[in-house]
Amino acid sequence: MTYADLILEWFDKNKRDMPWRRTSDPYCIWVSEVMLQQTQVVTVIPYYLRFIERFPNVSALAEASLEEVHNYWQGLGYYRRGENLWKGAKLIVDKWQGEFPRDPKLIKEIPGIGPYTLGAICSIALHLPLPAVDGNVMRILARQFCIGEDIANPKNRKLFEDKVMELMPNDPNRFNQALMELGALICTPKNPNCKECPMKPICEAYQKNVQEEYPVKLKKVKAVELNYKVLLIEKGSKIGMIKRPEEGLLANLWGFPMIEEKDWESIDLEAIKPVYLEQVTHVFTHRKWQMKPVILNWSQPLEKTLGPLLQEQGEIQYIEKNNLKNLPIATAFKKVMKKKQVTV
């Protein structure tokens, strides 16, 4: 049996039932692949179903506001993904009259579509022979063929893409999905289930008993730790919120004003009478926020004391606590809200 025969036979018997596997609509495949970036399948499924119900096609997504899209994305994290979907939908409507393009060169123009997502959409939805190589695929190929190149180095991606194309049969749809599924269910990052693996007969790492030595991957850069005071400024039944800028971390999402720890030390605390809550930690890819929530009551002295430190963050808007559920609030700040028992 060929490589493709082995993996496709296993896939047909063991593939998981996922809602995006019941359609060949490139729009739905696109949405699912974007949601699945750095997010587990079990987490994505309810978000996907809810998103597709509200935005069933490109036109529906393009007509929505960015804030509504963010609302439907709340809890998934990496909000730029949802924003790119929205921007991409607008591009498709403006440039191709709402018809998802079939040409890979055109699909590449859509915001947020990189090599892996391009390959996944083209092979799964359009049955085009393109590789869909992510960390899962590089891991299993590195083990099966004892490929010693660093998978964290972008320069080595083409090596793995070429290997996929060398192995690919005349069914790119099932083949690429089978590779992904094998990496998710059997050839996992730690403790791979080699006894149940259909690729044992051809896996060089298994034959040599060196599975744990592959793939080669350089250590991640340690996240930079940043310390903030997060200000919960109450004004009667309202609380102060800031909409973050259109670019940068947590773009276009809402949160609380923050002051770096080093700047907080210079403030006249007697004038603002802070009440401290338990510290909250939120980890991003390359940074870690240590956030100390501080309850403050609005007053003229408070505004005078903190004003200069808050000006660069944008205008503080005082919003009824009951209306917070209508805002796309970043997960980091939702953690803070739990400490204050502010619900959305």
For residue 98, give the 3-state DSSP assignment: coil
- Pick the catalytic residue: 33, 83, 161, 181? 33
Structure token digits, residue 16:
């998981």
d(CA 47, CA 75): 9
Q: Could you tell me the CA-to-CA distances from 200 to 147, 214, 303 in Å, in that order? A: 16, 15, 67
Single-letter code of the amino acid located at 335? K
For residue 8, give the 3-state DSSP assignment: helix
Angle at 180 between CA 121 and CA 128, to 5 degrees: 30
d(CA 148, CA 155): 13
DSSP assignment of 213-258: G-SB-PPPPPPEEEEEEEEEEEETTEEEEEEPPSSSTTTT-EE--E
Query: Quick check: 217 and 151 in contact, CB under 8 A?
Result: yes
Query: Quick check: 99 and 141 in contact, CB under 8 A?
Result: no
d(CA 62, CA 85): 9
d(CA 290, CA 49): 34
DSSP assignment of 20-32: GGG---HHHHHHH
Query: Is-catalytic flag, 181?
Result: no
Query: Of all helices (H) and strands (E), which one includes residue 211?
Result: none
d(CA 69, CA 86): 7
Query: Quick check: 130 and 118 in contact, CB under 8 A?
Result: yes
Q: What residues contact 186, with CB distance under 8 A and at least 6 apart?
A: 192, 193, 196, 197, 198
Hey, which residues are catalytic here? 33
